[in-house]
C-alpha cells in the first residue's frame, strides 16, 4: 500500500473490483483505513475517501482469498549494490496460503530480469499449485511520475508480460478495466528488461549531461547553453545536468542490469559512478567558495530528490550533507516540501541562512525561484551562493552583493 500499491488499489476499486489492500506497516494500514494520508500526491486523498465510502477498498495486515493478487513491495539494493529481493519473496510467501487454482498473480515491483520466472514462480509454487498450470502469473511494471500519479496510472501505456500467453491475456484484461493507455503484450522477462531499460536510459542520459557539464567547466563554457543548443538538433534529447540523482528508482534499477550481466554493463556502471559523484563535486565547490574559512557555515536549500516532490529518499542533498560534515562544515538544510530529513530541517529560509557563509541551492523547487537575495544577504556572515540547477538570476544575486557561482558555468 505504498506509492505504487495504494493508487493501484484505488484504481482497481474505481473500475468496479472489490479490493483488499495489504501492508505489513500497521501505522500505514490504520491511516489508510481512516482516509488519513498526506496531501502530497494530488487527487490521491480524495480518491481514497471515495473508495472507502463506496466499500471498494478495505486494508489490513494480512492477505486473504482473492481472484487476483498484485504485489507492489519495495525492491531496494544491498550495500554491495546487489538486488534485495527479500520483500518480494516474503510478500509472495505470505499469499501461498490463500492462493487457489484459477487465480492470477501480478508483480508490479521493479525486479531484475528473470525474477518472475526463476524466483517468484517457485516461491508461489510452495502452495502446491503449478505456475501456468494451476494459476496465472504476469509481470506488469509501473511507470508513474510522483506528483502526477493519478493521471499517469490511467493514461500511461503499460507492458504486460506473462509467464505464458494465458497469463499475459488475463493480466491485460485486468488492466484494461482502468488503463486507457495502450497495453503492450509481451513475456515476463522482456517486460522486466523494458522497465529496467527505461530507468537506466534516464540514468545514463543524466550521467552524459553531467559529463558534458564537467567537461564544459574545464573548457570554460556554459554547459547549460551547450545542452540547450544541442537539443535544437531534431534527434538529440539530453537531460539536464545537476547535483546528482536520487529517489528509489533511477539510482537503484540500473544495478539490477549490472547484477544480470556485470561484463556487458560497463557503460551503466560508469553512469552510476558519475551520478553518485556529483554531490561530492558540489561539496568541493562549496568548500572552495567558502575560501579557507575554518568550519564554514553552509546553508543547503532543497532536500528532496528532485523539484516539486516531498520525497527525500536517497537524495543528492543527503550525500552532500555527509561529505560537508566530514569536512567539518556546519550545515543547515531547508526544504519547503519535505517533512522529515536527517539532519532536521530548518523551517524557514531566513533561519537556515542566518550566519551562513555559503548558500547552496540543491533543488529547483518553484519556491526558490522567488527568493529575495537582498533580504537573505542581510542575515549572512559572508555572501556566496551556488546554484546547482540553473534557476537563480545571476544579475539579481550579484546586485544584492553575492559572490555568485553556477555549477557548469564559468564565473
Least CB distance to ligand NAD at residue 343 (A): 23
Q: Which residue among 14, 195, 240, 306 is the active-site one? A: 195
* Contact letters for ligand NAD, residues 68-97 (x by CB under 6 A): ----xxxx-----------x--xx--x---
- Residues from 276 through 335 that contact ligand NAD (CB under 6 A): none
232 an active-site residue? no
Q: Which stretch binds ligand NAD (CB under 6 A): 108-116, 366-374, 388-396, 399-407?
A: 108-116
- Half-sphere exposure (CA, 13 Å, Cβ side) for 94? 17
DSSP state, residue 392 = S
130 an active-site residue? no
Q: Which stretch binds ligand NAD (CB under 6 A): 103-111, 150-158, 182-190, 339-347?
A: 103-111
Q: Which residue among 14, 92, 249, 306 is the active-site one? A: 249
- Residues from 111 through 170 that contact ligand NAD (CB under 6 A): 142, 144, 146
Rounded Cα distance between 125 and 51, Å, is: 33
Least CB distance to ligand NAD at residue 266 (A): 24
Q: Are strands 136-139 and 158-162 parallel, antiparallel or unpaired?
A: antiparallel
Least CB distance to ligand NAD at residue 152 (A): 10
Q: Which residue shows C-alpha cell 496531501? A: 39
Q: Which is nearer to ligand NAD, 45 or 379 (CB)?
A: 45
List the Cα angle 261/145/320 in 5-degree steps.
70
* Contact letters for ligand NAD, residues 234-273 (x by CB under 6 A): --------------xx------------------------
Least CB distance to ligand NAD at residue 6 (A): 8
**Peptide bond before residue 343 is cis, with ω within 30 degrees of 0:** yes
- Residues from 2 through 31 that contact ligand NAD (CB under 6 A): 2-5, 22-25, 28
41 binds ligand NAD per the rule CB under 6 A: no
DSSP state, residue 171 = H
Least CB distance to ligand NAD at residue 255 (A): 12
Helix axes 266-289, 188-219, angle to 10 degrees: 40
Count of beta carbons in the 10 Å neighbourhood of residue 398: 14
Q: Which is nearer to ligand NAD, 87 or 230 (CB)?
A: 87
Burial 139-159 (b: 16+ CB within 10 A, else e): bbbbbbebbebbebbbebebb
Helix axes 316-326, 266-289, angle to 10 degrees: 50
Q: Are strands 330-334 and 183-187 parallel, antiparallel or unpaired?
A: unpaired
Least CB distance to ligand NAD at residue 318 (A): 17
346 binds ligand NAD per the rule CB under 6 A: no
Coil/strand/helix, residue 151: helix
43 binds ligand NAD per the rule CB under 6 A: no
Helix axes 188-219, 253-260, angle to 10 degrees: 110
Nearest to 160 by CA among 175, 145, 179: 175
230 binds ligand NAD per the rule CB under 6 A: no
Strands, E assignment, 173-258: 183-187
Q: Which residues bind ligand NAD (CB under 6 A)?
A: 1-5, 22-25, 28, 72-75, 87, 90-91, 94, 108-110, 142, 144, 146, 248-249
> Which residues does the annotation mark as catalytic?
195, 249
Amino acid at each position: 500500500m505504498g506509492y505504487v500499491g495504494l493508487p493501484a488499489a484505488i484504481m482497481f476499486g474505481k473500475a468496479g473490483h472489490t479490493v483488499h489492500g495489504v501492508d505489513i506497516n500497521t501505522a500505514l494500514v490504520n491511516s489508510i483505513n481512516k482516509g488519513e494520508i498526506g496531501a502530497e500526491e494530488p487527487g490521491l486523498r480524495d480518491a481514497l475517501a471515495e473508495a472507502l465510502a463506496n466499500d471498494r477498498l478495505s486494508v489490513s495486515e494480512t492477505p486473504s482469498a482473492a481472484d487476483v493478487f498484485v504485489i507492489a513491495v519495495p525492491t531496494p539494493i544491498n550495500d554491495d549494490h546487489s538486488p534485495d529481493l527479500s520483500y518480494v519473496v516474503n510478500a509472495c510467501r505470505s499469499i501461498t496460503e490463500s492462493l487457489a487454482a484459477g487465480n492470477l498473480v501480478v508483480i508490479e515491483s521493479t525486479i531484475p530480469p528473470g525474477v518472475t520466472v526463476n524466483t517468484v514462480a517457485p516461491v508461489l509454487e510452495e502452495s502446491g499449485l503449478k505456475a501456468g498450470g494451476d494459476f496465472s502469473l504476469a509481470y506488469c511494471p509501473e511507470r508513474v511520475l510522483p506528483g502526477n500519479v493519478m493521471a499517469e496510472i490511467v493514461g500511461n501505456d503499460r507492458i504486460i508480460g506473462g509467464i505464458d500467453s494465458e497469463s499475459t491475456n488475463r493480466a491485460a484484461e485486468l488492466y484494461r478495466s482502468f488503463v486507457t493507455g495502450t497495453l503492450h503484450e509481451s513475456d515476463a522477462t522482456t517486460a522486466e528488461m523494458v522497465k529496467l531499460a527505461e530507468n537506466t536510459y534516464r540514468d545514463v542520459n543524466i550521467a552524459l549531461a553531467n559529463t558534458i557539464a564537467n567537461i564544459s567547466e574545464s573548457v570554460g563554457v556554459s554547459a547549460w547553453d551547450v545542452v540547450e543548443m544541442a537539443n535544437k538538433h531534431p534527434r538529440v534529447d539530453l537531460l539536464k545536468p545537476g547535483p546528482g540523482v536520487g529517489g528509489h528508482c533511477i539510482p537503484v534499477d540500473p544495478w539490477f542490469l549490472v547484477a544480470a550481466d556485470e561484463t556487458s554493463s560497463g557503460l551503466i556502471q560508469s553512469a552510476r559512478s558519475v551520478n553518485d559523484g556529483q554531490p561530492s563535486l558540489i561539496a568541493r565547490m562549496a568548500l572552495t567558495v567558502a575560501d579557507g574559512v575554518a568550519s564554514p557555515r553552509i546553508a543547503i536549500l532543497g532536500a528532496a530528490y528532485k523539484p516539486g516532490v516531498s520525497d527525500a529518499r536517497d537524495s543528492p542533498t543527503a550525500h552532500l550533507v555527509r561529505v560537508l560534515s566530514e569536512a567539518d562544515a556546519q550545515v543547515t538544510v531547508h526544504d519547503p516540501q519535505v517533512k522529515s530529513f536527517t539532519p532536521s530541517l530548518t523551517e524557514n529560509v531566513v533561519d537556515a541562512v542566518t550566519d551562513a557563509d555559503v548558500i547552496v541551492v540543491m533543488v529547483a523547487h518553484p519556491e526558490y525561484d522567488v527568493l529575495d537575495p537582498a533580504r537573505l544577504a542581510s542575515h549572512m556572515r559572508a555572501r556566496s551562493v551556488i546554484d546547482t540547477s540553473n534557476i537563480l538570476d545571476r544579475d539579481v544575486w550579484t546586485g544584492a552583493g553575492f559572490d555568485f557561482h553556477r555549477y557548469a558555468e564559468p564565473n
